[in-house]
Structure 1
């Protein structure tokens, strides 16, 4: 029997204790700090509502203007989308044309991905079960990193004029593209009950920038068993004091829903091509893929300089 490999960041994030998870992220934090010293005040203050509100006051206003060219998403008004985002934190109704999401899905099957954020674990999505045996570990996700830029359809979505228009109306005139990524979420038979429990029921918020907006697209059909995305409406603009004064961004579902309201949690399911945009400071989670894999694309906008050392947020893994 092969020796058990060293744990990857995904495994630690899903099964380790708070201190262990934070320790695993230290190399990434130090890299961010060396590259951009302005990262530290953001990391400390952007989790607080006063800090975020102060930064929102610096947003440059955007004048009303028609889109420079036609959008693949049809006649969606970016200002109205931004208004709904301000109210609820999420806007749905962004549907990819069939030829676009089919081409990206084809890319997802034909292009090797990296399991659990680790470039040492490379495999095709169709080889997931064999990859778990080969690498002797459960593999819950598979990311393509910079390879997504080889997919013309993915780049076409990234460059569609509607996305930056919505981002500018919501984030301000400083809004810029900072992330483009595709990844698989896999059902796995090798994870422990503790892994499954923690992966399924942990809401979190993103703390990558002072102000962010993320567009998500399902590239295959996503029902209740394929790991649908869940978002807590309104949690982007009010925050329990306990959730501001903690170093961790993940919290148990029952704790989050008890404060923000169970009726505010929206589960997004849909056919291939279904898209939505959200303020990721609101509590959200990708639930566990139980029976079917989920293939997803994210395009993110922010207001700060993106990391140049790693591909769009790829973690630094020690050793």
Structure 2
């Protein structure tokens, strides 16, 4: 039997279908959205970001026009808490629940797997009180509600390392290091936080400005498309390809229907924290699992 998630992805492949379904949903949820925003605005003084309402409107406008926009930076104490969590907790190579290891054992894991590890992620990160506090901060909730035009639901919380490596074409595609777009719901938005400093040698995130609005590629009903750098530059122009760099704590807000990709670090690993908000949720997108499913590789 086809899942809700796969059905959604099939129905909403075309932009006109997404727009129609989103506007109809937003109309139906208008009253609930207004109540949610009012309740959240009443807690704005509790935001760790030093938030004001005007900033929310600016972020949403830029997000809608460009597909992504820099957000308020994550305060340094929170950056340190997330980094501490990452260094003390097991992480899982290739997002595989049976390939757990501690960072100090990276080389041992690579020897066992017979390849370099490009990406390793954590599971159940919302169990950490500091990460949970960031996820439900009024800043994130207000931006998400205003952009989605609906009460936002936390679809997923993810934290992962990208390591310097020479990945195979299979690993680059599997871990989204080629241009693509996401189709996670009728409308969704992600918040990315750099937990380590990121320059051109540390695996910056890349997105194509305006590709959320202007579709210059042929779609497919049957599969998620991947695009070469040359195809994207020819379609959109090199000036629209934006590399996101900045110190630890830097924030990017993005609707990843916008064409984007990860890049492979060449010098230092990158640690990135992500929260995704949507109108509907799907278990396929969650990074939460039963602890009994997790196992160490070494």
**TM-score in terms of structure 1 length:** 0.79
Q: Is residue 2:248 matched to residue 1:278?
A: no
- In the alignment, is residue 55 of structure 1 matched against residue 21 of structure 2? yes
Q: Quick one: distance in 2 between partners of 1:249 and 1:111? A: 34
1:12-48 deviation line (CA, Å, top 9, x unaligned): xxxxxxxxxxxxxxxxxx7xx4xxx433431112221
- Is the Cα contact below 8 Å between 1:307 and 1:313 reproduced in 2? no
Total equivalences in the alignment: 278
The verdict on how the C-alpha distance between 1:291 and 1:241 changes in structure 2, with shifts beyond 3 A counting, is closer
Cα distance in 2 between the residues matched to 1:122 and 1:46:
35
Pick aligned residue for 1:175 from 143, 148, 152 = 152
Whole-angstrom CA distance in 1 between matches of 2:138 and 2:181: 27
- 2:236 equivalent among 260, 263, 267: 260
1:79 aligned counterpart, secondary structure:
helix
Instruction: Provide the secondary structure at the position in 1 that maps to 2:16.
Output: helix
Q: Which is worse superposed, 296-305 or 133-142? A: 133-142
Tell me if 1:161 matches 2:127: no
CA gap of 1:241–1:295, structure 2 versus 1, over 3 A, is closer
Match of 2:44 among 37, 46, 69: 69
Q: What is the CA distance between 1:195 and its match in structure 2?
A: 5.9
- Residue 23 of structure 1 corresponds to none
Q: Does 1:80 align with 2:46?
A: no
- Report the Cα offset of residue 67 of structure 1: 4.9
Question: Secondary structure at 1:142's aligned position in 2?
Answer: strand
| Greater Cα offset, 249-258 or 292-301 | 249-258
Is the contact made by 2:59 and 2:143 (CA closer than 8 Å) also made in structure 1? yes
Q: Deviations over 1:256-314 (max 9, x none)?
A: 22112221111111111111110010001111122110001000001113317953599
2:296 aligns to what? none
User: C-alpha separation between the residues in 2 aligned to 1:285 and 1:313?
Assistant: 26
Aligned to 1:186: 163
Within the alignment, does 1:293 sit opposite 2:259 as a pair? no
Which is further off, 251-260 or 304-313?
A: 304-313
Equivalent pair of 2:156/2:285 in contact (CA under 8 Å): no
Give CA deviations for 1:90-148 in whole Å, capped at 9, x if unaligned. 120320111100110111111110100112211112322221012323211111111x1
**Structure 1 runs (4+) greater than 4 angstroms displaced:** 62-65, 194-201
8 Å CA contact retained: 1:143, 1:181 = yes
1:115 is aligned, of 62, 77, 93, to 93
CA contact (8 A) 2:48 2:137 kept: yes
TM-score, structure 2 length as denominator? 0.85
Secondary structure at the aligned position of 1:104 is classed as helix
Distance 1:246 1:257 in 2: 24
Q: Structure 2: any 5+ residue segments left out of the alignment?
A: 294-298
Change in Cα spacing, 1:51 to 1:41, as seen in structure 2 (3 Å) is farther
The equivalent residue for 1:39 is 5
